[in-house]
Amino acid sequence: MTAARHYSEALGTLKEMVLRMGGLAEQMVHLSVTALAERNGELLTGVRPMETQVNRLHVDIDEMCLEMIALRQPAGGDLRFIAAAMKINTDLERIADQAVNIARRAETLLSVPPLKPLIDIPHMARIADEMLKNALDAFVDGDDALATTTIVRDDEVDQLKDQVFRELLTYMMSDPTTIPRAMELILVSRGLERIADHATNVCEDVIFMVQGKDVRHQGP
Amino acid sequence: MTAARHYSEALGTLKEMVLRMGGLAEQMVHLSVTALAERNGELLTGVRPMETQVNRLHVDIDEMCLEMIALRQPAGGDLRFIAAAMKINTDLERIADQAVNIARRAETLLSVPPLKPLIDIPHMARIADEMLKNALDAFVDGDDALATTTIVRDDEVDQLKDQVFRELLTYMMSDPTTIPRAMELILVSRGLERIADHATNVCEDVIFMVQGKDVRHQGP
């Protein structure tokens, strides 16, 4: 097998590992929020084993990236691809972390009566999930246009977070016994906001990878 | 000038840039929390201009790292150093982001009467600041022992965060008019917790850089 073939195989393997990690992170978020919204604690049992897999991939992807840089000495687009994979790796691990936090809060909330039917939180989770899916597709296909349109959706998530906050503040002010539950829900919505932020980071990394142009800190 | 001399100069410049960025992030956290604790809004005016500098460095450091990899094709310790610089760069930018959030909350809180004298929040900020200082020293000196002892302090910050949360929950439950202010303070303490988490990430990157060993996800 030629060195070039080896190299393109290694790039393919790296892509696959990032996708596998992204898929796990997505499922973890989905399970945690669905467990909370549908009050089905059984769904939470899947989250921990997935975290273990994510953590393993987190270490493996970094190792693979450094090895590829050291052995193949890539430049240009290939180097940007590997650098993007390293950064995306970090964001995916943090998304999984947030999912574990949400799962923990769900566990607490499922042990007490529901405060209210949840509408906005599952809605936030759906948008964050779509953002992450699109971000990963954009990475795999080198699709900077998709990455660009995905970033915009972060505002929807932020608005929903503010809405959740205002609504729960009203609950807390009118009935202090709701405070502990409302606090947990507020922190769940902040976790989802952070997940959307991480998906945004992934999109920015994809744009840099494709265009060789840093779009961070450009403001709206 | 020899290529080797050029290279070691470039490494020196990179180190300096990371340190400058770390120093700015540190000051931003310090100013925001001091403004809040001493109810001195003037201190907040320095935060925004520093954010602009941090964002500039964020982009420049990444660019410099990729350039060094592409042009010098480093391996071993040098490559790990550059990879660590890229990761630390991300964490420092997030710390600065958190400082800006805290400054915004401080502004809100300074426009209303104080809820209580703040003790634990400045205490959290001091520990987080020390962690960040140590993490940066560890990076510059390649001091994995310092990085290892610094990571342990993250637990102190987590405990203080829980303490702040419990105390403010009591305020909110006994007097609902305190809820909006208590919420802001809770979110400030979570910002500080995240800053300590980022300092921990920096330490883990330093250990990897020095030992070539990934210490993440090893549990306590």
In a domain, B125, yes or no: yes
Using CB atoms within 10 Å of the CB of residue B164, give its burial: 0 to 12 exposed, 13 to 18 middle, 19+ buried: buried
Closest to B188 in 3D by CA, of B210, B154, B219, B160: B160
The tokens for A177 are 């016994």
Mutate to test the interface with A, among B172, B188, B218 (most CBs of A within 10 A): B172
Please list the rounded mean pLDDT of every run of 10 residues in chain B (220 residues). Answer: 76 96 98 98 97 97 95 91 96 98 98 97 98 97 97 98 97 96 97 98 96 76
SS3 B173: helix
In a domain, B219, yes or no: no
The confidence score (pLDDT) of residue A214 equals: 79
User: Is this prediction's ipTM beyond 0.85?
Assistant: yes
Q: What is the Cα–Cα distance from B36 to B104, expressed in whole angstroms?
A: 10
What are the chain B neighbours of A216 within 8 Å (beta carbons)? 55, 58-59
Helices B154-174 and B144-152 sit at what angle, rounded to 10 degrees?
Answer: 20
- The answer to whether the Cβ–Cβ distance between A90 and B90 falls below 8 Å is yes
**Do residues A147 and A140 make contact, with C-beta atoms less than 8 angstroms apart?**
no
Of A58, A87, A214, the CB nearest to B59: A214
| A135: CATH | 1.20.58.220
What are the chain A neighbours of B86 within 8 Å (beta carbons)? 83, 86-87
3-state helix, strand, coil in chain A (%, to 5): 85, 0, 15
In a domain, B29, yes or no: yes
CB atoms within 10 A of CB A37: 17
Q: Which residues of chain A have pLDDT under 50?
A: 220
Place of tokens 């909006």: B180
The confidence score (pLDDT) of residue A50 equals: 98
The confidence score (pLDDT) of residue B8 equals: 86
What are the chain A neighbours of B179 within 8 Å (beta carbons)? 169, 172-173, 179
Closest to A182 in 3D by CA, of A194, A170, A195, A196: A170
Place of tokens 């949360």: B165
In a domain, A39, yes or no: yes
Of B69, B90, B216, the CB nearest to A58: B216
The tokens for B179 are 């809820």
- The answer to whether the Cβ–Cβ distance between A55 and B217 falls below 8 Å is yes
**Do residues B103 and B33 make contact, with C-beta atoms less than 8 angstroms apart?**
no
Chain B residues interacting with chain A (CB cutoff of 8 angstroms) = 55-56, 58-59, 62-63, 65-66, 69-70, 73-76, 79-80, 83, 86-87, 90, 169, 172-174, 176, 179-180, 183, 186, 190, 214, 216-217
In a domain, B218, yes or no: no
Closest to B83 in 3D by CA, of A64, A96, A200: A64
Count of domains for chain B: 1
Containing domain of residue A128, as a range?
3-211
Residues contacting residue A183 through CB under 8 Å, at least 6 positions apart: A172, B169, B186
Contacts A–B by Cβ distance under 8 A? 75
Of A66, A90, A172, the CB nearest to B176: A172
In a domain, A91, yes or no: yes
Question: What is the SS3 string spanning A135-196?
Answer: HHHHHHHCCHHHHHHHHHCHHHHHHHHHHHHHHHHHHHHHCHHHHHHHHHHHHHHHHHHHHH
The confidence score (pLDDT) of residue B214 equals: 79
In a domain, A216, yes or no: no
In a domain, A219, yes or no: no
